[in-house]
Structure 1
């Protein structure tokens, strides 16, 4: 068995306490990458130790294999109830089943515990099982339990740690993002019909599959994508293929997958993606839920959605940890992140128990969760003044105008600027030394870089004796943007002389 993280053990304890209190229908809300399947396996193992059997129900056929592999690795005897792959017996500890096959063939009635994966996608077959098997405990698993009426079927909600907590404690990687062409996307979405709480896919595909929008996706990835392994979420098969064609036209290795891609071909494509033979995977409605390839560290959001659940599920494909992965870069061509926020902004609400309505629970928001840097398009918190990507300050209505490197730029009032502490400034000084030494340059320039980073501050003389350190991602981005500004200023100066 895999060793549980403390927060996973706490979630299991909370579910067991709920069972002791008489709850037969519980829901565990745990972020993508938080280990829902591992928790499910430990729950199943606990049932097996009591001589019981478990049923694990998935929403998508491709999730069956993932669950089987995880349960096998945890030492459980696993049976399968899924189409032509069906093979199970009473001697198995746990049966992994697709809800589609249960609908067609029924589920084994000798199980003692039912675990429903992605339970926010609740089928009538799930509901009928719960209504028929009243004495059997059901536990739903979801990262985004936002569906209306979910509280009528699950009466106890157990919240795992938030995405923010998991990120801050190193279980998930942080996200940084850009929102290019947001105005063009807003214009393209005018008049798009909305049904069941989201845009009509047929209308959406036609609106977003415009040559200029597709071309912007490719050019932005070339400029910002940092040659990362990338997943792209498109609006339709035609849109996804158009994106593929434009990437191929500039020599980028890319593959398209959809619901009609054969299992063998999909397996081959994913293997080549993991081997970095394919740099970009583009799809529609395939990569968003349950797709588990942590190697991806860049996401292209090209499918606008009003669904916060879908947005967070898509973001979840990039926040899992992997070797050498320090963060996830989001290139948002949909406006979703401005509307719904980054993963760290998501909080699990109480379960909705309304009798009517479809879709998902919506939070009332007076303003968008994030704003866009007017200089580089980076996504920023509303309260942030200085962009961590380009190092420039956000314009404000009461701003004063200054010149920097020959360009007219607006800067926020000094009274509203974030005041860094001594420890942060010292660390930046050491990081600047480390950066310079790694490039064969003299570390003395760290003095001037720190003065630029913190105007009006003079680093103490004794800091010269400090040990150099590796820059954090934010420090490295600031130094990089500073070097770009300096180089452009030098080019303009040389052009003026000529």
Structure 2
């Protein structure tokens, strides 16, 4: 298995920081492949056969998941599990659950470690984690400590610096959106007459006073306006709604249902069985909307979700990122047939997006993140500095006129210029027919292709023992990312090297024998280009069948990209 180029850079920077500081924290959002990257760091640290590492996770299912992914990245390194069911230190890398290892009796049995890895490392300031960290350091003062997290700033403002003195690398949301591993948010801030009141809500120790938010937002006319705006901008999308209180959530779900839209309610007082049933109805399509109160903020993903409604403000940027992140996942067409997703509509009926301004994390290892103070603006009449979201100056009463663009905000100032994955890929991509409509790359075990047909791009993958598979459908960048990841998943460095001499050598007689006659006159054809053409030719029927299943009744499309043209022909209009 190969890491993406950006993942390799993350690993290199993390190892350099570990060697320099003996500890480091890496920051990467959901979708970056944190487990793959921590496996890369751990595997290279353990190249010395005598070294021993432990990878901490806070949930049982994560220990086995992390161990499985680690073995794919590092097949030669032995692993073991330390959790409630299995307590073994036999492997060179042990994957442990914090709650189990943190017990005093279990800590006494822990061997000397050379590397401690903390998944979801924002938890490292918690007492159980600190007990483990202190015990590891007592046993070996020279132990290296590596952490990875998507949300480095804790809601309780506790500092991470006692564990991590530096940040080795930070992968941004913008990078993942530009590389096709997440979809972009299209964010609208909609004032339904509550923003002024919401801006006055006081903060509690944890967040804004949600009972006060409920008193402002939980009113029938406001809920009706919310549903009206939703129907205008996102009526055909699977939607998750974040509310202030259970009473608020129930009323919102009831209002959606009364308007003819099936909606579910999820909150902490429901039994686990009731939650599962409600989510099952949402994920099966029986319901289009799921309304929740602080339950689906993290740890839940349903990729077809492409609209997020915020009916509560968020005191912390990390919470805002988690809520919006529920809608940024890309689609696997095999898991969700027929679903095409190119963006996520975010409807903010509160003040969070104006309060925080950007979706990118500002890492502060010293804690005291504050509560994301609102950006300010100057009153033109009296010169007072007031919150940027304010419509009226509290000192002189100046009123800012609303503009036509007030309801739409670019949350993160994303520059949506596509990263050229063809150049950054570990593999060489070939334009099969010279019209940028059919691209392929091959390795020793697998092949991948990206094809344009009927207004959509399709990402495909297959291999010697791997049947052709539809990987992605929709935007070119997303399809390229999925196809490149397929090759990374099934190949090694030997297959990926683009500098090998044979890549540029002339096509062999054996290859030309199986290619159409027109290619035998192409004296510039290389072995690698011929390999890509042959992979396409041998798998054309499977590629066609899987794509045509997605393009129902488009007979004209059957002679387009996957039809197999001679060099130099142009793409037909889809």
Match of 2:146 among 133, 139, 142: 139
Contact conserved, 1:55 with 1:114, CA < 8 A, in 2? yes
Partner of 2:404: 374
Could you tell me how far apart the structure 2 residues matched to 1:78 and 1:155 are? Answer: 29
The 5 A counterparts of 1:410-429 are: none
Kindly state the Cα deviation for residue 164 of structure 1 after the two structures are TM-superposed.
1.6
Kindly state the Cα deviation for residue 272 of structure 1 after the two structures are TM-superposed.
3.9
Kindly state the Cα deviation for residue 174 of structure 1 after the two structures are TM-superposed.
0.9
Matched, 1:118 2:120: yes
Matched, 1:257 2:260: no
Partner of 2:309: 300
Matched, 1:290 2:288: no
Kindly state the Cα deviation for residue 195 of structure 1 after the two structures are TM-superposed.
2.6
Kindly state the Cα deviation for residue 319 of structure 1 after the two structures are TM-superposed.
1.7
Matched, 1:72 2:72: no
**Could you report, residue by residue, the CA deviation over 1:174-209 in whole angstroms, capped at 9, with x for unpaired residues?**
1112222x2623233255221337312333334332
Kindly state the Cα deviation for residue 297 of structure 1 after the two structures are TM-superposed.
1.3
Could you tell me how far apart the structure 1 residues matched to 2:54 and 2:193 are? Answer: 50
- Say how many residue pairs are matched: 377
Kindly state the Cα deviation for residue 327 of structure 1 after the two structures are TM-superposed.
0.7
Partner of 1:220: 229
Contact conserved, 2:192 with 2:349, CA < 8 A, in 1? no
CA shift in 2, pair 1:74/1:13, >3 Å: same
Could you tell me how far apart the structure 2 residues matched to 1:97 and 1:383 are? Answer: 38
Could you tell me how far apart the structure 2 residues matched to 1:145 and 1:239 are? Answer: 30
Match of 2:331 among 322, 326, 334: 322
Partner of 1:353: 366
**Could you report, residue by residue, the CA deviation over 1:303-335 in whole angstroms, capped at 9, with x for unpaired residues?**
201211111121222222224221111011122
**Could you report, residue by residue, the CA deviation over 1:141-184 in whole angstroms, capped at 9, with x for unpaired residues?**
2223234422333112022332222222222211112222x262
**TM-score, normalising length from structure 2?**
0.57
Q: Mean alpha-carbon deviation: is it higher for 360-369 or for 165-174? A: 360-369
**Could you report, residue by residue, the CA deviation over 1:437-464 in whole angstroms, capped at 9, with x for unpaired residues?**
xxxxxxxxxxxxxxxxxxxxxxxxxxxx
Could you tell me how far apart the structure 1 residues matched to 2:46 and 2:296 are? Answer: 33
Could you tell me how far apart the structure 1 residues matched to 2:573 and 2:371 are? Answer: 46
CA shift in 2, pair 1:37/1:73, >3 Å: closer
CA shift in 2, pair 1:88/1:212, >3 Å: farther
Kindly state the Cα deviation for residue 78 of structure 1 after the two structures are TM-superposed.
6.1
Could you tell me how far apart the structure 2 residues matched to 1:30 and 1:230 are? Answer: 25
Could you tell me how far apart the structure 2 residues matched to 1:11 and 1:158 are? Answer: 8
Partner of 1:102: 102
The runs of 5 or more residues in structure 2 that have no matched partner are 72-77, 333-339, 378-387, 392-401, 415-454, 457-569
Q: Mean alpha-carbon deviation: is it higher for 93-102 or for 232-241? A: 93-102
Kindly state the Cα deviation for residue 380 of structure 1 after the two structures are TM-superposed.
4.8
Kindly state the Cα deviation for residue 239 of structure 1 after the two structures are TM-superposed.
1.9
Matched, 1:334 2:350: yes
**TM-score, normalising length from structure 1?**
0.65
Could you tell me how far apart the structure 2 residues matched to 1:211 and 1:103 are? Answer: 50
Kindly state the Cα deviation for residue 37 of structure 1 after the two structures are TM-superposed.
2.5
Kindly state the Cα deviation for residue 370 of structure 1 after the two structures are TM-superposed.
13
Q: Mean alpha-carbon deviation: is it higher for 290-299 or for 107-116? A: 107-116
Kindly state the Cα deviation for residue 28 of structure 1 after the two structures are TM-superposed.
0.7
The alignment partner of 1:21 has SS state of helix
CA shift in 2, pair 1:77/1:158, >3 Å: same
Could you tell me how far apart the structure 1 residues matched to 2:116 and 2:269 are? Answer: 30
Kindly state the Cα deviation for residue 29 of structure 1 after the two structures are TM-superposed.
0.8
Partner of 1:490: none
Could you tell me how far apart the structure 2 residues matched to 1:201 and 1:100 are? Answer: 34
Kindly state the Cα deviation for residue 33 of structure 1 after the two structures are TM-superposed.
1.7
Partner of 1:415: none
The alignment partner of 1:178 has SS state of strand
The 5 A counterparts of 1:103-252 are: 109-110=110-111, 112=113, 113-121=115-123, 122-134=125-137, 135=140, 136-147=143-154, 148=157, 149-180=159-190, 182=191, 184-189=193-198, 191-196=200-205, 198-252=207-261
**Could you report, residue by residue, the CA deviation over 1:351-373 in whole angstroms, capped at 9, with x for unpaired residues?**
3436xxx5547477335599986
CA shift in 2, pair 1:66/1:297, >3 Å: farther
Could you tell me how far apart the structure 1 residues matched to 2:98 and 2:81 are? Answer: 12
Could you tell me how far apart the structure 2 residues matched to 1:319 and 1:48 are? Answer: 34
Could you tell me how far apart the structure 2 residues matched to 1:302 and 1:142 are? Answer: 27
Kindly state the Cα deviation for residue 98 of structure 1 after the two structures are TM-superposed.
4.8
Could you tell me how far apart the structure 1 residues matched to 2:233 and 2:165 are? Answer: 45
Could you tell me how far apart the structure 1 residues matched to 2:80 and 2:350 are? Answer: 41
Contact conserved, 1:205 with 1:235, CA < 8 A, in 2? yes
Could you tell me how far apart the structure 1 residues matched to 2:35 and 2:307 are? Answer: 24
The alignment partner of 2:305 has SS state of coil
CA shift in 2, pair 1:4/1:249, >3 Å: same
CA shift in 2, pair 1:381/1:6, >3 Å: closer
CA shift in 2, pair 1:96/1:231, >3 Å: farther
The alignment partner of 2:89 has SS state of coil
Cα RMSD after superposing both structures = 3.8
Could you tell me how far apart the structure 1 residues matched to 2:411 and 2:147 are? Answer: 33
Could you tell me how far apart the structure 1 residues matched to 2:134 and 2:85 are? Answer: 25
Matched, 1:37 2:39: no
The alignment partner of 1:19 has SS state of helix
Contact conserved, 2:238 with 2:306, CA < 8 A, in 1? yes
Contact conserved, 1:27 with 1:141, CA < 8 A, in 2? yes
The runs of 5 or more residues in structure 1 that have no matched partner are 385-433, 436-465, 471-498
Partner of 2:382: none
